[in-house]
């Protein structure tokens, strides 16, 4: 749900309404996520928490926070970790929080631009660092949340959150495959029903083009190997705050977020 324009109260500290809070989150996404999002390798290096796994549960809450006129809605996501890259271990359960979602009090949906969207059972790879982009559940919002889908004729392949396939570049880097996106199956979870042309939205049927695309797509095994190689050269970071699953974790993220805004405001 889109909210009407609202402004923080005057004075040193922000007094935040629910609508203002969601607008501030969206503003941070606009300022941070799309304009300065790093390469995939840099995203891997700067993640405090990174893993591949399955979305096991999604729950919606609201929590009272200092300076807010009413409880802030947020989404609690629990993942079962299949492969740990950083900050967790194989077989663990990880809880992440992100702003917005279904408000349990009003029954209204509050959306935040750039926040990943999940369904229970999704197979994903998530990279998080709440010191860089708090309240999004992933580093640089949905750029830090990859999807893994079964592609006909290719097997499990890695996609961006917008379902653009990831591809291997000639220089060894990983990027998106230009010109195509996956249409997920409405019947089978984590399955790609078809590959379509990004411009025409028509299904790609040319055998040569399909073969070249499938060969270029990043497999799960290639993703794991690439991340391991990148992280070998990365500086080890402290564990993510978001690994613990309680309301105090979201409240701490919120307070850090507001403190960051206040510091930026004071520096002007």
pLDDT above 90 as % of the chain: 41
Q: Which two tokens stand for residue 28?
A: 């941070």
Q: How far apart are CA 159 and CA 175, in angstroms?
A: 10
Q: What is the pLDDT of residue 110?
A: 85
Residue environment code for 141-151, b if the CB has 16+ CB neighbours within 10 A, otherwise e? bbbbbbbbbeb
Best CATH choice for the domain 18-147+219-267 from the list 1.10.3720.10, 2.40.50.120, 3.40.50.300, 3.40.395.10: 2.40.50.120
Q: What is the pLDDT of residue 22?
A: 57
Q: List, for residues 71-105, the tens digit of each pLDDT value.
A: 888 899 999 999 999 989 999 999 998 888 888 88
Q: List, for residues 149-192, the tens digit of each pLDDT value.
A: 999 889 999 999 999 999 988 888 899 988 899 999 888 878 99
Q: How far apart are CA 12 and CA 136, in angstroms?
A: 25
pTM over 0.75: yes
Helix (H) or strand (E) holding 79: strand 72-86
| Full DSSP string of 231-248 | HHTSPP-PPPGGGS-SHH
Q: Which two tokens stand for residue 40?
A: 């995939």
Q: How far apart are CA 89 and CA 17, in angstroms?
A: 38
């Amino acid at each position: 749900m889109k909210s009407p324009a609202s402004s923080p109260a005057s004075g040193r500290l922000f007094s935040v309404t629910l609508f203002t809070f969601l607008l501030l989150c969206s503003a941070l996404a606009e300022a941070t996520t799309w304009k300065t999002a790093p390469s995939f390798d840099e995203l891997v290096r700067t993640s405090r928490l990174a893993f591949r796994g399955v979305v096991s549960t999604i729950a919606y809450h609201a929590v009272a926070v200092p300076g807010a006129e009413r409880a802030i809605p947020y989404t609690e996501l629990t993942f079962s970790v299949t492969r740990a890259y950083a900050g967790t271990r194989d077989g663990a359960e990880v809880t992440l929080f992100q702003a917005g979602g279904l408000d349990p009090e009003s029954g209204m949906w509050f959306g935040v631009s750039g926040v990943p969207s999940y369904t229970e059972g999704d197979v994903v790879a998530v990279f998080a660092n709440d010191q860089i982009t708090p309240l999004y559940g992933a580093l640089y919002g949905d750029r830090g949340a990859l999807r893994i889908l079964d592609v006909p004729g290719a097997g499990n392949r890695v996609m961006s959150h917008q379902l653009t396939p990831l591809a291997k570049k000639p220089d060894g880097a990983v990027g998106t495959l230009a010109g195509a996106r996956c249409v997920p199956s409405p019947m089978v979870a984590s399955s790609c029903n078809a590959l379509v042309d990004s411009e025409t939205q028509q299904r790609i049927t040319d055998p040569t083009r399909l073969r070249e695309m499938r060969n270029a797509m990043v497999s799960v095994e290639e993703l794991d190997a690439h991340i391991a190689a990148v992280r070998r050269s990365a500086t080890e970071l402290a564990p993510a705050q978001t690994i613990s699953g309680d309301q105090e974790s979201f409240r701490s993220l919120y307070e850090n977020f507001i403190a960051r805004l206040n510091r930026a405001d004071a520096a002007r």
